[in-house]
Chain A
Amino acid sequence: MSAPDVEAGAASAVSADRHRRRPVTGSLLVGGLIVAVVIGMALLSFVWTPHDPTLVDPSVRLQEPSPDYWFGTDKFGRDVFSQILMGSRTTLFVGFVAVGVAALIGVPLGIVAGMAPRWFGELLMRGNDLLLAFPALLLAIMFAAVYGAGTLVAMVAIGIASIPHFARLIRGGTLQVMRTEYVIAARAAGRGPFAIAVRHVLPNVSSLVIVQASVGFAISVLAEAALSFLGFGTPPPTPSWGRMLQESQELLSIAPRLAVFPGVAIAVAVLGFNLLGDGLRDRFDPKLEDRR
């Protein structure tokens, strides 16, 4: 059998195996549903919100939930439901850019570390692990100290802090792919490292990237909320769930619902992305499937 034959045969066997009747699990379904709702809320906020979420109206301060104000109003008379809708946009935007930054740097880093000579790969991973000593929030505060607080700073900081997770996972996947027969055959056939990375490694680790992207989204939602809570995130008046929580704290004794609504929004969104990640992992990774 010639090398290309082996290559094609083994590759198709792997992908066939990967999609072998794996049921849609509960986590995948629930997670996907929640994420879809959050995305739907963000899209909806572009065309419709019940009220202007930034409109300050002292005449309707601290209204209880009513048919007019579904979740009530805050201390400035702004509609809480509209702010939650708009806040989902901030959350998704920050998550999207942060995960994008992390994947764009982390995935190539992981592939290089997996394909490079062992000592170099180890060295890259050591440096990578060093980044773990600077969690997203710490990095964002450092950035804010130097450049001032803002959405861009928050997104980049969260993104950089998420690089090590991507790189480590993708390196593991790459090492596995490099040991497969079709890659060995491709190398024997004289394919260059770049061609192998693009043709074999990347497609095979793509499921890992998707899973980590989902989990990374959850992490970035949490980090963004914490940053906004501390005042290092999206500046007012753009609504953000984290800042809504922070503003609610002084009113806990009279209007605890102001903490509950954004709090539930954050927790549900994080839960959704985590469940989606778990569900995707169950579906993609045959090793974990045995976890019955």
Chain B
Amino acid sequence: MIVRLVQRIAILLAGLAVSSVLVFAFMAVLPGDPARVALGTSASDSAVARLRQEFGLDRPLVTQYLSWVHGLVTFDPGNSYVSHAPIGPQLADRLQVTLWLVGTGMVIACVLALPMGTLMAVRHRKPSGLLLSALSQVGVAVPAFLAGILLITVFAVGLGWLPANGWTPPVQDPVLFLKQLVMPALSLGIVQAAVVTRYVRSAVLDVLREDYLRTARAKGLRPTRALLRHGLRNAAVPVVTVLALQLATLLVGSVVIERVFVIPGLGSLLLDSVANRDLIVVQDVVMIIAMAVLLVNFLVDMVYLLIDPRLRGGAS
């Protein structure tokens, strides 16, 4: 168990190291001169040189890389090349907004997908199961931003129940916060639910065919209780894997959803920075998203250990 833990931590750290080098190489080295990019082609050479000096871009690449990583680790990533404002507080603010969005979306996805997928598996031959299956197939095909636009059309434009867009921090006005959160979170959640439902169905179907479920029924458990008591925990491993993988999709989906609903999250920051040619901010946001995905993969490995006693042995 300890061996496995150490092994996983090593994999996490290696993953973070490799991806940070990749991001740095791509965002800071490939474009040539980030200062030139930030100021545009019309800027004078002296202005570019001043900016290079201000941000230490004239230092060796290894030094630049290490100071960037140091900044990220100490939550002090320095200033924007374009606005010269400190990036840290901005990142923190935006991350908070995106986490609300992604978190709520994930919860909605789970609440919908877990019972629906199980139901689809149990009734996989009955018309109701096939209907749900077909519905989920359609759901998978709908991009989150399209779901968002349709929700706006119906509930904001048509019925006028909810504001079409905007964002209010929960401490400022909890009611408005919730009203504004509903549609973007639903857009992310429903589409995710469709994807996750299909994996839940397949995992539960696999478990339904297991011998130990037959043993459970031979003991005198009815099919539903046998599935609940003996099946779901075993079906959880593949489902947790998918949930973790989907987090990357959800984070990226929120980039688009933030644009649709005019929400000042990490995604909007990313898009604005690309538009402003503020490469260091793009670099930071990309790295934060990659870090989040890698960290969640690590946590999922830990969850496996809780779910499946066979993995706790250490071997394999």
Partner of B256, one of A145, A230, A266, A292: A230
Q: Is A249 an interface residue (CB 8 A)?
A: yes
Q: Which residues from chain B contact A132 at a C-beta distance below 8 Å? A: 245, 248, 293
- Select the residue from B125, B143, B255, B274 with max chain A CB neighbours within 10 A: B143
Is the beta-carbon distance between A249 and B27 smaller than 8 angstroms? no
Q: Is A144 an interface residue (CB 8 A)?
A: yes
Question: In whole angstroms, how far apart are the Cα atoms of A252 and B252 in the complex?
Answer: 24
Question: In whole angstroms, how far apart are the Cα atoms of A134 and B14 in the complex?
Answer: 16
Q: Which residues from chain B contact A136 at a C-beta distance below 8 Å? A: 252
Is the beta-carbon distance between B282 and A142 smaller than 8 angstroms? yes
Is the beta-carbon distance between B18 and A145 smaller than 8 angstroms? no
Is the beta-carbon distance between B137 and A133 smaller than 8 angstroms? no
Q: Which residues from chain B contact A230 at a C-beta distance below 8 Å? A: 255-256, 259, 271
Interface string of A176-208 (1 = CB under 8 A from B): 000000000000000000000000000000000
Q: Which residues from chain A contact B273 at a C-beta distance below 8 Å? A: 145
Q: Which parts of B238-293 form the interface with A (CB within 8 Å)? A: 245, 248-249, 251-252, 255-256, 259-260, 270-271, 273-274, 277, 279, 282, 286, 289-290, 293
Is the beta-carbon distance between B27 and A141 smaller than 8 angstroms? no
What distance in Å separates the Cβ of B72 from its nearest Cβ neighbour in chain A?
15
What distance in Å separates the Cβ of B20 from its nearest Cβ neighbour in chain A?
11
Stretch at the interface among B74-82, B112-120, B146-154: B146-154
Q: Provided the pairs A130-B18, A130-B19, A230-B271 are in contact, do residues A146 and B205 lie with their beta carbons within 8 angstroms?
A: no
Is the beta-carbon distance between B271 and A266 smaller than 8 angstroms? no
Q: Which DSSP category, helix, strand, loop or mixed, fits chain B's interface?
A: helix
Q: Which residues from chain B contact A144 at a C-beta distance below 8 Å? A: 274
Number of interface residues of B (CB under 8 A): 49
Q: Which residues from chain A contact B282 at a C-beta distance below 8 Å? A: 141-142, 145
Nearest neighbor of B11 in chain A, beta-carbon distance = A126
Q: Which residues from chain A contact B293 at a C-beta distance below 8 Å? A: 132-133
Q: Is A229 an interface residue (CB 8 A)?
A: yes
Is the beta-carbon distance between B286 and A142 smaller than 8 angstroms? yes
Is the beta-carbon distance between A226 and B256 smaller than 8 angstroms? yes
Is the beta-carbon distance between B149 and A274 smaller than 8 angstroms? no
Q: Which residues from chain A contact B279 at a C-beta distance below 8 Å? A: 145-146
What distance in Å separates the Cβ of B87 from its nearest Cβ neighbour in chain A?
15
Q: Is B30 an interface residue (CB 8 A)?
A: yes
What distance in Å separates the Cβ of B264 from its nearest Cβ neighbour in chain A?
16
Q: Provided the pairs A126-B11, A291-B205 are in contact, do residues A145 and B149 lie with their beta carbons within 8 angstroms?
A: no
Number of interface residues of A (CB under 8 A): 40
Q: Is B157 an interface residue (CB 8 A)?
A: yes
Is the beta-carbon distance between B140 and A274 smaller than 8 angstroms? yes
What distance in Å separates the Cβ of A192 from its nearest Cβ neighbour in chain B?
31
Is the beta-carbon distance between A249 and B140 smaller than 8 angstroms? no
Interface string of A257-288 (1 = CB under 8 A from B): 00100010011101100110010000000000
Is the beta-carbon distance between A141 and B270 smaller than 8 angstroms? yes
Q: Is B88 an interface residue (CB 8 A)?
A: no
Q: Which residues from chain B contact A245 at a C-beta distance below 8 Å? A: 145-146, 149
Is the beta-carbon distance between B286 and A263 smaller than 8 angstroms? no
Chain A positions within 8 Å of B, measured between CB atoms, are 126-127, 129-130, 132-138, 141-142, 144-146, 218, 222, 225-226, 229-230, 245, 248-249, 252-253, 256, 259, 263, 266-268, 270-271, 274-275, 278, 291-292
Q: A133-B289, A266-B142 are in contact. List 8 more A-B contacts (CB 8 A).
A: A132-B248, A133-B248, A135-B248, A141-B255, A146-B26, A146-B31, A222-B143, A252-B149
**What are 22 A-B contacts defined by CB distance under 8 Å?**
A126-B14, A129-B15, A133-B248, A137-B256, A141-B255, A141-B286, A142-B282, A145-B27, A145-B274, A145-B277, A146-B27, A226-B143, A226-B256, A229-B259, A230-B256, A252-B152, A253-B157, A259-B149, A267-B143, A270-B140, A270-B143, A271-B141
